[in-house]
Amino acid sequence: MTEQEARRMRRARFEGLAHLVVEPLHRYLLRRTSADMVDDVLSETMLVLWRRLDDVPGLGAGSDPDAPPDRDDVLPWCYGVARGCLANARRADGRRLRLVERLIRTQEQSPAGAADHGELHAALDALGALDREVVRLWAWEGLAPRQIAEATGLTSNAVSIRLHRAKARLAAQLGRKDAERPGHKRDEGRSSQ
């Protein structure tokens, strides 16, 4: 048997199984979860059935590919797969909800004197997308221009130029163009003689 024939037979076995179990599994899931989750869980179930096609009772690799599967043999096993996929989806949904709750609590508990970075974010949003990404990679990720060039596909020189210009635009937007930089004095390093 050629590889192409084996794939065709596997596909035919899966299509026969899918034709037999999709409706019962859909009804099974509708009775156990919300309508908006049913299609996702059913899709995941069918993916697992495809991957484990040789494990389906009465549908293994040695079974006759032309004979339709016996519903009483395959359906209980498929219900078990759907049950497992539904449990996985519920766990994932629970993790998402707990994360959202934790994020909400964290924001509610932020100190009253916490810095407001809204002006900075507005200034960043005013930059072009590539300039904003270059600044973020430099400031937030701590990358050097050579590393930013590698991440963005630009040359190191282009990154340095973009970074210099973007920092100047940010400083101008934030009204700090003429302000003294912390830790530096205007007459520092000059001789008083």
**Tens digits of per-residue pLDDT, 4-38?**
998 998 999 999 999 999 999 999 999 999 999 99
1 vs 65: which has the higher pLDDT: 1
Q: Phi/psi zone of residue 101: left (φ > 0), alpha (ψ -120 to 50 degrees), beta? A: alpha
Taking only the tens place, the pLDDT of each residue in 39-80 is 999 999 999 999 999 899 877 555 565 677 788 889 999 999
pTM, two decimals, is: 0.54
Query: For residue 54, what is the DSSP state?
Result: G
Residue pair 74/17 in contact by the 8 Å Cβ criterion? yes
Question: What per-residue confidence (pLDDT) applies to 191?
Answer: 46
Residues in the chain: 193
How far are the Cα atoms of 57, 171, 186 from residue 178, in angstroms, in the given order? 77, 9, 11
What one-letter code names the amino acid at 135?
A: V
Question: What per-residue confidence (pLDDT) applies to 73?
Answer: 86
